[in-house]
Amino acid sequence: MRLSSYVNQINQVFTENMGTENASSLEQGLKNGMDAILGKVPGQSITGEVLLKEGSNVLISMGDNQLLQAKLEGSMSPQIGQLLTFQIKNNSANKVVLTPLFENLSQDPNVSKALQAAGMPENNVTAAMVKAMMQEGLPVNRQSLYQMNRMLGANPQVDVQTLAQMQRMNLPITPENIFQFEAYKNYQHQLGESLSDIADAFTQSFQEMTGSGEIRQGLNFYKEVLGILTEGFAEPELSEEGSVPNPPVQNAGEEAGVLLPKPTEEGVKTPTALLPEASQAGTEQKVQESLLPEKELHELVRQLKDAGVPEKVIGEVSQNRMSGQELLHQVEKMLSQEDFPDREKFFDLLESREFKHVLKNEMNRQWLMLPEDVGKENSVDKLYERLNSQMSRLNQALSQTAKADTPLARTVANVTGNIDFMNQLNQMFTYVQIPLKMQGREANGELFVYTNKKSLAKKDGSVSALLHLDMEYLGGLDVYVALNDKKVSTKFYLQDDSALDLIAQNIELLNSRLNERGYSASAEFINRDGNTNVMEEMLNQNKNISVLSGYSFDARA
């Protein structure tokens, strides 16, 4: 907006509207308004009420018989009675240039009324606060306004819209929750990515400790971390020849699962049929995966020999009969010995690329889910029980090293905060992240169940869900699932036609499994740009979101 105001000039438009008898008072008001403007400096702001409007011309009252004649530019279209706030860009003797502040763009006369009724001052901050509360459907009364105003005062750097949205979702306003909430809104919340970063951050922290001469502290920290990863490991008995009579199956039953709703007499449950078939426990023994590729395995065996590792252990590794978790357990035992072997050679082992691969692979095995394991009952609960326990112990180990402000400490804190935030979301929504390991690649999944209070109360079995996957080759994939009685309808959204074709060609695998369980299925395949933001899906739900008590996922279980 550019406002050109002259003390001795009165626009004919306003003179005709107000009447000739008011011309002198209008002229005096314009003079007073110019005097008030000239008494300020560029950068300061003024606020005024729109008295008259015709075309792009408006007359603004700043109170105390101070008027400003203004010409609007652009698409701005204020209403009579609307309160506008401007910043002074220039104020010379005969010309003033004002810029409207952003808050004017969606100003509502009800904002002023709400603030006046609450006895609160009207300014840019309080006006934005009221608008944000109205947009989120929050109550706007004296108590709620003062409560939100206190939150703003305690969190001056936080966007008011964020605070209003968190208030509507009944999320505690804490620095940790604010950080996680904004991360979820900005696609920076993926749990799987943070978990993968822990291995690299851990080795970096170990290097910093030992590089600064804190050798004993570094070794003790390494031992603590290995103890966390091998807790509860049942060491198999080695034969005289160094073989294992009954090779162990790694952590049987601790696989991860995905929740998709199934109507039952008790409420909303999980039909595993909607996801990849889980392997049947006990029907066949798992094949022991190779610890490392052959070339790396040979190098690891050499390093184990140099480090003084017992021959029985070396024999098991060389014959690929030892799991990663068992090898870490054997190394942790050696770090606990009083008569420690050659420290320099042992450092070479711990710092080697091959041993770091074993460590990272074991972390991924424990913290990421395999697609064939999704759908197993209680597997999500077990995953998050393990994560919650291990992150807590990592935090404790870090606190003992006085390394609180390191990449590892920040990454562990982010994972812990993410899990805790997820649990709080589940007080209102059914939502969970699913960190996945797919053919040697990491992927991140999110499951959000749309809830409706009326349908839940009627128990008519109608429920829908969104499964969002971020994958390296297929990119973002959104699967909307609607379940009504025994009818399952799905919509697949991808950004790439070839990816859509791939899914369409294999959809019969899913349909046949559903048919075997008594479901009838239909599917649509849609190409679209952009991915779904699950947090936005939650925010767009009705204000009467129902709590699925007893069935919402608890990440701290």
Which phi-psi region, left, alpha or beta, contains residue 508 (left: φ > 0; alpha: ψ -120 to 50)? Answer: alpha
pLDDT band at 366 (very low <50, low <70, confident <90, very high): very high
Instruction: Tell how far CA 106 is from the center of its chain.
Output: 28
Are residues 427 and 460 part of one domain?
yes
Cα gap 42→74, rounded to integer Å: 22
pLDDT at 114 over 60: yes
Q: Could you report the per-residue pLDDT of 351-365, keeping only the tens digit for each?
A: 999 999 999 999 999
Cα gap 254→362, rounded to integer Å: 14
What's the rounded mean pLDDT across residues 336-341? 74
Instruction: Give the C-alpha distances (Å, rounded to integers) separating 267 from 422, 453, 463, 464, 484.
Output: 22, 12, 11, 14, 13
Are residues 483 and 356 part of one domain?
yes
Cα gap 55→1, rounded to integer Å: 14
Domain count, the chain: 3
What's the rounded mean pLDDT across residues 415-439? 88
Question: Is the CB of residue 443 less than 8 Å from the CB of residue 534?
Answer: no
Are residues 196 and 135 part of one domain?
no
pLDDT at 517 over 90: no
For 78-125, the DSSP string reads --TT-EEEEEEEEE-SS-EEEEE-GGGGG--HHHHHHHHHHT---SHH
Task: Label residues 403-429 b or e (16+ Cβ within 10 Å = b).
Answer: beebbbbebbbbbbbbbbbbbbbbebb
Strand residue runs (E) in 153-227: none
Amino acid letter at 552?
A: S
Cα maximum dimension of the chain: 115
Q: What are phi and psi of 3, to 5 degrees?
A: -120, 115
Cα gap 360→435, rounded to integer Å: 15
Cα gap 222→335, rounded to integer Å: 8
More confident residue, 539 or 326: 326
Q: What is the pLDDT, as a whole number, of residue 337?
A: 82
Are residues 16 and 161 part of one domain?
no
Helix, strand, or coil (residue 488): strand
Q: What is the pLDDT, as a whole number, of residue 548?
A: 30
Are residues 526 and 422 part of one domain?
yes
Domain-embedded: residue 246: no
More confident residue, 471 or 549: 471
pLDDT at 417 over 80: yes
Q: Could you report the per-residue pLDDT of 141-169, keeping only the tens digit for each?
A: 999 999 999 999 999 999 999 999 999 88
Q: What is the pLDDT, as a whole number, of residue 100?
A: 62
Are residues 219 and 318 part of one domain?
yes
Domain of residue 74, residue span:
12-106
More confident residue, 39 or 392: 392
Cα gap 252→250, rounded to integer Å: 6
pLDDT at 375 over 90: no
Are residues 144 and 98 part of one domain?
no
The token pair that represents 530 in the structure block? 């952009």
Domain-embedded: residue 2: no
Most confident of 202-211, 410-419, 478-487: 410-419
Are residues 213 and 343 part of one domain?
yes
Last residue of a domain, one of 106, 132, 154: 106
The pLDDT mean for the chain works out to: 76
Domain-embedded: residue 339: yes
> Which among 308, 389, 304, 292 is positioned nearest to 341, based on CA atoms?
308
What's the rounded mean pLDDT across residues 465-494? 85
Are residues 208 and 101 part of one domain?
no
Q: What is the pLDDT, as a whole number, of residue 236?
A: 62
Count of other CB atoms within 10 angstroms of residue 162? 16
pLDDT band at 23 (very low <50, low <70, confident <90, very high): low
Are residues 204 and 163 part of one domain?
no
Domain-embedded: residue 547: no
Instruction: Give the C-alpha distances (Å, rounded to integers) separating 264 from 270, 383, 404, 453, 486.
Output: 10, 25, 48, 16, 11
Are residues 441 and 386 part of one domain?
yes
pLDDT at 42 over 60: yes
pLDDT at 440 over 70: no
Are residues 140 and 71 part of one domain?
no
The token pair that represents 137 in the structure block? 């459907």
Instruction: Give the C-alpha distances (Å, rounded to integers) separating 511 from 203, 296, 489.
Output: 45, 42, 10
Residue with the two structure tokens 């691969």: 357
Helix, strand, or coil (residue 497): helix
Q: What is the pLDDT, as a whole number, of residue 72?
A: 61
3-9: list long-range contacts, CB under 8 Å, 24+ apart.
3/68, 3/69, 3/70, 3/71, 3/96, 3/97, 3/98, 4/71, 4/95, 4/96, 5/30, 5/33, 5/34, 5/37, 5/68, 5/69, 5/70, 5/95, 5/96, 6/94, 7/31, 7/34
pLDDT band at 248 (very low <50, low <70, confident <90, very high): very low
Instruction: Tell how far CA 449 is from the center of its chain.
Output: 16
More confident residue, 127 or 442: 127
pLDDT band at 8 (very low <50, low <70, confident <90, very high): very low
Cα gap 470→5, rounded to integer Å: 57
Domain-embedded: residue 553: no
Q: Could you report the per-residue pLDDT of 271-327, keeping only the tens digit for each?
A: 333 333 333 333 333 445 678 998 999 999 999 999 889 999 999 999 988 999 999
pLDDT at 422 over 70: yes
Q: How many percent of the chain have pLDDT more than 70?
A: 74
Say which CATH number the domain at 25 has.
Answer: 2.40.50.140
